[in-house]
Structures are given as structure tokens and as C-alpha cells.
Amino acid sequence: MAPTILIVGATGNTGRAVTETLPTLLKANESFKNHRVLGLTRSLTSPTAQQLAKIPGVEIIEKNWTDITSDWLLEHEVVRAFIASHNAPNQFAEESAFHVAALGAGVEYVVRISTTAPNVRPDCGAYYPRTHWAIEAMLGSAEFSALKWTSLQPNVFTSFYMAVLAEYIKKFKRNGELGPLKLMASKDAPVAPIDPDEVGVFAAHLLALDDPSPHSGAKYVLNGPEDITGEQLVGLVEQRIGTKVKEVTYQDLSLLDAMLDSQYEGSGQSMTVVKSIKNALWIMWEGKCNASATSKEVLDIAPPRRTPTDVLEDLLKT
């Protein structure tokens, strides 16, 4: 076996781009010529897992990351790791256990995905940013001084932010229907959503550094390259359908409510806690998630380039 860089969530929003990007970066560096990339997936039969498994230097295995122990990490010679955890209410228990295992196994460096920077604080009204704050506080404690780590704090993903626009345009082109357009965005607040692939690319560059020490303990803000308001989102739709949208609802959370009900109703989780997720959107409506807030280190190493328009065009092709 060879020294291993582990990708937890290799087929996920950000992990896929980490897995695709990392082998090329490692190949270009003499220090990593013997390293391998090990990606975890919940299903080896998924199209994404099968595609990633074809990349030279990448091995994809089916394993639940929440079962990882120090012994497993030592057995697989894991020296660095990427983790994009879930955001369920038990996130802290499971992700913190992973970091404890990494510390015990002598893993030298971990890059993790956090959430939108202005929300990562102990008094956030949404539960999961408090979890990210707690994990970052744990990693920053003296007890974890032997483990280097970087936490990435990305803005809302363009794939999620733009999906409702793409579906509205496709529906209009199918049947000419001008129904109500319901947007989570506010009408006037500028927001810079980011392509999750670009978050993964930046993470891969960090993992491929000879010495990640300058980035240890850092919390990097990753917003997209371009601000866009809700009103401008409507404009993108109107450009593509060739007519005015008759009814627009801004700051609409009905889709998010439906998603949370579908995922958690009857799960035994507190729905009050689960639905506090909606409080995470206030910072966007207050205009605190702009392109200008992106960390300088991100712009120096792998600056985000894909705009909301770029992502919308891709969504319309699928």
C-alpha cells in the first residue's frame, strides 16, 4: 500500500472535483509521486463513482465514513484527508469522531467543508452553522495541535441557487406556461453563489501542497466571482423566455420547507431544530455574502470563475 489521501464524500457536491483534480496535481509534484487517492462512496454502482474510478491513481471504495476509526486510517496509510460532512442534527457527533480518529492515527492534514462564513458563530439561529463553529473550535484547541487543518466556508452553491430558474425556463419552453416564479433570493441584496466544483478544486490544491502549515487553522471564505440580486435573476429568466415573468415571489422558502419535510418528517429529529435551517438565509438577504469577501488565499491559489449565468447555461443543457 502507498501513502494515501482520503476523500470523504468523493461523489458529492465538492468531493467530486477534489477527486478529479488531485491526481493531476500529485503527478506534477515529485514529493507525491507514490501517493494514491482513495475516495469513499455510498454506492460503487453510481455513474459518478464509476467515472471517478477510471481516473489513473484513484481508487473508489464503498464505505460509510462514519464508521472510520484510527485503526482503519492506519491500515490504509492515510496521511491527508478531505471531508465534506452531512448537515443533519447529529453532524457534530459524527464529524468530530472522524477528526478524533484522524488525530489518533497521526494524519498530518485535513481539509474540511464548513458553511457560509457570516453564519459560523455560536449564536446563529440555524443549527448547522453552530455545529461548524463547534468543530472549528475543537480543531483549534490545544489538544488538536498535532493535526493541521483548514476549514473552507463556501457561500450557497450555484447548482442549488439556480436550479429553480432552469426548471422555470424548461417548463415555459415545454408548454408556454408563465406560472409564479418563487425565489429564495431577496429582490435587491447582492449574493455571490459559488460553483461547488470550484470549492473542490481549491481544496485539491491545498491537499497537494508540499507544506500546508501556512494554511493550518485557516478558515477561508469562498464566494463566487459575481454578485447577483433576485431582480437580476428574474432578468436572466426573462432573457431566455423572451417575455416578462408576471408573478415573482422573493424570499420564498416553500421549496426548502418541502425538502425538509420530505427528508426529516417522521425521522425522530426535532422539526423545530431542523427547520431552523431557514434562519441561515438571513445573511444573504442582508447582503453579507458578496464576491468581495472571498479570501485572498483563494484568489491567489484557485480563484472562482464560474458565474451564475455560466451555471444556468449548463443546467439548461441537462
| Distance (Å, whole) CA 89 – CA 269 | 8
For residue 274, the model assigns a pLDDT of: 92
Hey, where are the domains in the chain?
4-157+195-224+296-301, 158-191+226-289+306-317
Give the three cell numbers for residue 205.
490544491
CATH code of the domain made up of 158-191+226-289+306-317: 3.90.25
Taking 90 as the threshold, does the pLDDT of residue 11 lie above it? yes
Q: Which residues of 142-155 are buried (b: 16+ CB within 10 A; e: fewer)?
A: eebeebbbbbbbbb
In this structure, are strands 218-222 and 36-41 parallel, antiparallel, or unpaired? unpaired
In order, the DSSP letters of 141-164 are SGGGTTSEEEEEEE--BHHHHTHH
Strand ranges (DSSP E) for 186-251?
218-222, 248-249
Mean pLDDT of 67-83: 98
Q: Enter the pTM of the model.
A: 0.96
What does the pLDDT look like over 194-211, one tens digit per residue?
999 999 999 999 999 999
Taking 90 as the threshold, does the pLDDT of residue 65 lie above it? yes
Q: Of 161, 156, 155, 150, which Cα lies nearest the Cα of 117?
A: 155
CA torsion angle for 198, 222, 316, 161 (degrees, to 10)? 150
Question: How far apart are the two ends of the chain, measured CA to CA in Å?
Answer: 40
Q: In what order do the strands lie in the sheet with 148-154?
A: 58-62, 36-41, 4-8, 78-83, 109-113, 148-154, 218-222
Taking 90 as the threshold, does the pLDDT of residue 177 lie above it? no
3-state secondary structure of 298: helix
Taking 90 as the threshold, does the pLDDT of residue 221 lie above it? yes
Higher per-residue confidence, 130 vs 34 = 130
Tell the burial category of 1 from Cβ atoms under 10 Å away from its Cβ (0-12, 13-18, 19+). Answer: exposed
3-state secondary structure of 271: helix
Pure H helices in 105-217: 127-139, 158-161, 163-175, 196-207
For residue 257, the model assigns a pLDDT of: 87
How far is the CA of 152 from the CAs of 84, 97, 281, 298, in angstroms?
A: 10, 19, 18, 10
What does the pLDDT look like over 107-128, one tens digit per residue?
999 999 999 999 999 999 999 9
| Distance (Å, whole) CA 130 – CA 115 | 10
CA torsion angle for 168, 170, 172, 176 (degrees, to 10)? -160
Q: For residue 3, how many C-alpha atoms fall within 13 Å in the half-sphere facing its CB? A: 13
Taking 90 as the threshold, does the pLDDT of residue 232 lie above it? yes
CATH code 3.40.50.720 for 4-157+195-224+296-301: yes
For residue 1, the model assigns a pLDDT of: 73
Which residues 6+ apart lie within 8 Å of 156 measured at CB? 116, 191, 193, 194, 284, 289
